[in-house]
Amino acid sequence: MKLTVMYRNKMSLYEAITASTAFFLVPVAILLIGRGEEIRTVLGNSIIYLLLGPTFGMFIMRSTTITQFSFFATTALDNIDNILDYEELSYGEKQDFSEGLEFKNVSFSYGDEKILDQVSFRVNQGESVALVGPSGGGKSTIARLAARFYDADSGEVLLGKTNIQEYEKTALMKKIAFVFQGSKLFKISLKENLLLGKSDAGDKEIEDALVSSGSKEIVDTLEKGLETVYGTKGPYFSGGEVQRLTIARAFLKDAKLLILDEATAFADPENEYMIQESFKKLAKNRTTLMIAHRLSTVVNADRILVIDKGKLVEEGTHDELLQKGEVYKKLWEEYQRAVNWKIGGQNA
């Protein structure tokens, strides 16, 4: 972003100068003629400059653009190298999935920036726990550590009483369903997208998943139904509709641990309501860890954990945290003001 702003400012200055060359050149020519310079020479030089100046400017512009894209390409290649050089996670051989999720003194950093600092909590079997807090506090990092997208720098992430690192990779992935805030569908048929959750699912299972997630009405409007190819060769859907289809995939997977990361972030009010209703069904009898900025979505959670600056600062139910009157209450009041705000600055 800083590079873009810097480049934009310099280019604006350069274009302003080159576009106004004539305004500077004409007064200079008049001044030279007034001082006794030969008119033919002054006019000839001025015309040549006016004709050749833009050409040189064009070459300078092109060289600047080439330099810019060369920098972007080098940066992209460096990022690819970093990904390819990333050390793969090692997995154990444990197959049986233990119930419940626990963080024990977990710390994590991105480079030199510490994101989590000695975080400890437990989500019991069948319990629904919400993570809330200011942006950048570490909520999404906790969700990714719980799914073992990467390992903690120190401390332990436990499933049941077993370290998550001891599980076999395929077995672990089968038992965890993760719904992102910006879920994507692949440009294949809707049925193939759903079967990514469970490759051997039957038609009845798919039908039940669509009904439970509120996605059946989306499929019913399509001429080819589940055989409709999403994307380039077929229709696109709104963010909320994509999210509902992603939730159908999670229903098919029937995982023991459900992780929801801002899953209603891109949904309109109608889709948000349907997504919330499907989450109630999906979370039933499952260990659920959810992240939300819309605090209305976590009011009924069994427990709410408030994460701020990488630390667990509060814990309790919605009512308990409001009574404490600390971080969560401030977040709730800010959320209420945002919800009730209207054009003109007046509250509803």
Q: State in words which class domain 127-143+168-340 has.
A: alpha beta
- Which are the contacts of 201, defined by CB distance < 8 A and separation ≥ 6? 194, 195, 209, 252
The predicted-structure confidence for 110-155, as pLDDT tens digits, reads as follows 878 888 888 888 888 888 888 888 888 888 888 888 888 888 888 8
CA 128, CA 326: separation in Å to the nearest integer?
Answer: 22
Mean pLDDT of the chain: 79
- Percent of the chain past pLDDT 70, that is, above it, reads 85
Mean pLDDT, residues 189-218 taken together:
84
pLDDT tens, position by position, 56-97: 767 777 787 888 888 889 989 988 887 777 777 777 788 777
Buried b (16+ CB within 10 A) or exposed e, 295-306: bebbeebebbbb
pLDDT at 222 (0 to 100): 81
The structural domains of the chain, with segments of one domain joined by +, span: 2-84, 127-143+168-340
pLDDT in tens, 5-55: 555 566 677 666 666 666 677 777 777 777 777 777 777 777 777 777 667
What's the confidence (pLDDT) of residue 102?
A: 87
pLDDT for 265? 58
* pLDDT, position 57: 67
Reply yes or no on whether the pLDDT at 345 is more than 70: no
- Phi (first) and psi of residue 197, to 5 degrees: -75, -35
Q: What is the pLDDT of residues 156-179, one digit of tens each?
A: 888 888 888 888 888 888 888 888
Burial class (CB in 10 A: 0-12, 13-18, 19+), 132: buried
Q: Which pLDDT value is given to residue 232?
A: 67
pLDDT at 267: 60
Identify the weakest region by mean pLDDT among 2-6, 174-178, 285-289: 2-6
CA angle 192, 197, 198 (to 5 degrees): 85
Q: Which of 169, 176, 178 is nearest to 89 (CA)?
A: 169
**Per-residue tokens: 91:** 């997995």
Question: Tens of pLDDT along 251-275?
Answer: 888 778 888 877 665 566 666 677 7
In order of 3, 119, 163, 254, the CA distances from 172 in angstroms are 41, 22, 12, 13
Residue 11 is predicted with a pLDDT of 66
